[in-house]
Structure 1
Amino acid sequence: MATIQEIADRLGISKGTVSKALNGASDISETLQKTVIETAVEMGYHKLRRPGGLRKLCVLIANMEYTEPHHFGHELILGFRQMAEPAGYTVEIVPATDALQASVSYDAFMLQHDYLGAFILGFSLSDPWMKHFPTSRTPAVLYDNYVSSNPCMASVGIDNREGMELAVSHLKRLGHTRIGYLSHALDSHIMQVRREAFFQSMRRQGLFADESLTGSSHYIAHCMEKYLPRLLYEQQVTAIICSHDQIANAAMIQCQQMDFRIPEDVSIVGFDDLPICAYTSPPLTTIRQNRLLLGKSGYYALESLLNGIPIGTLLLHAELVVRNSTNQVSYE
């Protein structure tokens, strides 16, 4: 790691000026502060934890709701804070907007705000900072994303392959052999993982698996209009697995509007077990993610990185929650 003196030597300024710039002193111009921070990042400088001092972590969140208890990100953040704050950390929640990511590099942002590490939620593959993470030196743990070959980066999530295997096995036990798959657009790591897991699970179960049995779109309405009728009428599926619960709920509503009964005519399985799943019509069979435990796992992984333990991926077991949206296949 570079030292403050080495940064000062590179820029031809005093060590005290560098220290002031790194700590946001008011008598340092914005231009000089930006230059010092960018040079520090380039040279690999990062602030160390000091016993008894302020220790700050952040949750960087994009493309995910989190402010209300029923929002997907709420329990992820709660679990992380439940572990981090008793351990003496201050946790700040930072919306990682497009404007923020475009204005500063990830490492520079973390250094500028005294964050020792980050728990990163909701990033898509197109988010600008995803390009920074492979070479970043600031510890971070990504939920449902993966960065290879960087010992400063870790990943947490549930075992999505296990979850998909549970879903496919459940439907096969009920007699379903024609199973379709509907997904959100494949511009996120986790949507790609779940889609591939669907094909792998179908093949392991000895069931027919083909592109014609799938459909994906950025928009749920488009998915329902274009792909659901094709699965029901052309492919004659008797069951559909969905990449997340919102698509599954939309599929149940659309099927019923098309005079298909759930689950008598078509069985539907979701993914995530959002609070709404117990109250859909009928209640939705789904794969549960324990988001509180995932948040706690995010802290465990980040603390490992901060202690120099290069943890890679931490996966929790998936759980099948059987409700009333799945049933024995009917050949009437």
Structure 2
Amino acid sequence: MAVKNVTIQDIADRLGMAKSTVSKAISGATDISEKTRERVLACAGEMGYQVKAKHVSYTKSIVVFIYGSIHYDKVDQFGYEIILGLQAAAAEHGIGVNITAISNAELKSGNYYSIVSGGNCEGAVFLGFKPHHVFIEHIRSLNIPLVILDNNVDYQLAARVGCDSAGGIRQMVQYLWMRGHDRIGFLGGEEDSIVTQERYQAYSDALKELGLEENKDAVRYGHFSAKGTRKRILTIAQTGVTAVVCISDLLACSAVQELEKAGYVVPADISVTGYDNLPVSEYSQPRITTMYQNRIHIGKTAFVMLQQMNSGISIEVVSLRPELIERESVKLIAKRILPEEDK
């Protein structure tokens, strides 16, 4: 039996919304609220909606290089809204966005510089990795600006964009403490990832600021995705923590599933938090308390940064403020007020 393709009308019927509203939410229109957009994207992700590629010709373009765990072709994936924001901002200036997936061989060799050397490239955005030094050396004379998500590169025309990882994790640890949690674990991605390192350091520093002891046995690393979560989350749970800070929603949702398979109840036995506010965090059971990175704004900001650098303005880092989204995956043990000096 053939699987029916989910349509915008199907999503509208499920949510009781106008088809035009759903279409605006998926296409990145600015005249609807963020809350409505979140509802639509969460529902679209749950229903398995597939985004149809648009083919538009532009005389100038921006190249987006993607590798690794950054996926973008479905509305519930991390890269989707970043691309959406970038495309929306670029289209207003008559500039196209070309997406290029990088292979393992290209990642190691840096031999993808020819993609931006055609003369009509306004800049490049890197999602999931930072450019190889071979790439940098080949484009240095072309004065092509680069924007890298959550990574740093030693190149005059390169800048970093993202949300304040350290601030977001610090706020989450404080939130858990204010709800009575003193034993807090940490579930990270790849240990050599800059994002993992920054978020772990923020977690460790936040514990110290609150006078809490860090249990090294309750800190585990692995992947940003669900791969291999079971062993790591159960190891953390066995240390007696009451809460676990996960550095992605995919990790958090997988952790909840594995904990409940092992007989734990979330959040009654152990609380779990995520990061990103992907649609999956909204329709997880229980719904995941998380930090919201406005990925549409990240995409739009990346475009503005490229424009500014093309105008001769030097930029190093642009960091957006994340927002705590409180849901049902954290147990209230006791209410506390954060000391004024720690706010």
Q: Same fold judged by TM-score > 0.5?
A: yes
Counterpart in 2 of 1:55?
Answer: 60
Q: Partners in 1 of 2:135 and 2:211 — Cα distance?
A: 39
- Distance change >3 Å, CA 84–CA 214, structure 1 → 2: same
Which residue of the other structure, out of 220, 239, 242, is the alignment partner of 2:243? Answer: 239
Q: Which has the larger radius of gyration?
A: 1
Q: Which letter maps to 2:75? A: P
Same amino acid, percent of matched pairs: 30
Asked if 1 retains the 8 angstrom alpha-carbon contact of 2:287 and 2:327, the reply is yes
Q: Partners in 2 of 1:295 and 1:161 — Cα distance?
A: 20
Counterpart in 2 of 1:130?
Answer: 132
For structure 2, list consecutive stretches of 5 or more residues without a partner in the other structure: 1-57, 335-343
1:171 aligns with 2:201: no
Which residue of the other structure, out of 201, 208, 230, is the alignment partner of 1:203? Answer: 208
Q: Partners in 2 of 1:134 and 1:221 — Cα distance?
A: 32
**What displacement does 1:321 show?**
0.4
Query: Secondary structure of the equivalent of 2:319?
Result: strand
RMSD (Å), alpha carbons: 2.1
Counterpart in 2 of 1:41?
Answer: none
Asked if 1 retains the 8 angstrom alpha-carbon contact of 2:229 and 2:258, the reply is no
Counterpart in 1 of 2:319?
Answer: 315
Q: Partners in 2 of 1:72 and 1:214 — Cα distance?
A: 24
Q: Partners in 1 of 2:188 and 2:333 — Cα distance?
A: 23
For structure 1, list consecutive stretches of 5 or more residues without a partner in the other structure: 1-52
What number of residue pairs does the alignment pair up? Answer: 271
- Distance change >3 Å, CA 101–CA 268, structure 1 → 2: closer
- Distance change >3 Å, CA 101–CA 261, structure 1 → 2: closer
Asked if 1 retains the 8 angstrom alpha-carbon contact of 2:109 and 2:132, the reply is no
TM-score (norm 2): 0.74
Q: Partners in 2 of 1:323 and 1:170 — Cα distance?
A: 12
Asked if 1 retains the 8 angstrom alpha-carbon contact of 2:109 and 2:134, the reply is no
1:120 aligns with 2:122: no
Which residue of the other structure, out of 116, 120, 123, is the alignment partner of 1:110? Answer: 116
TM-score (norm 1): 0.76
Asked if 1 retains the 8 angstrom alpha-carbon contact of 2:251 and 2:274, the reply is yes
Q: Partners in 1 of 2:294 and 2:121 — Cα distance?
A: 27
**What displacement does 1:113 show?**
6.5
Matches within 5 A, 1:1-332: 54-63=59-68, 64-101=70-107, 105-112=111-118, 114-123=120-129, 129-132=131-134, 137=140, 138-148=144-154, 150-218=155-223, 220-225=226-231, 227-233=232-238, 235-329=239-333
Asked if 2 retains the 8 angstrom alpha-carbon contact of 1:238 and 1:329, the reply is no
Q: Which letter maps to 2:214? A: A
**What displacement does 1:104 show?**
5.7
Query: Secondary structure of the equivalent of 1:56?
Result: strand
After alignment, is 98-107 or 164-173 more displaced? 98-107
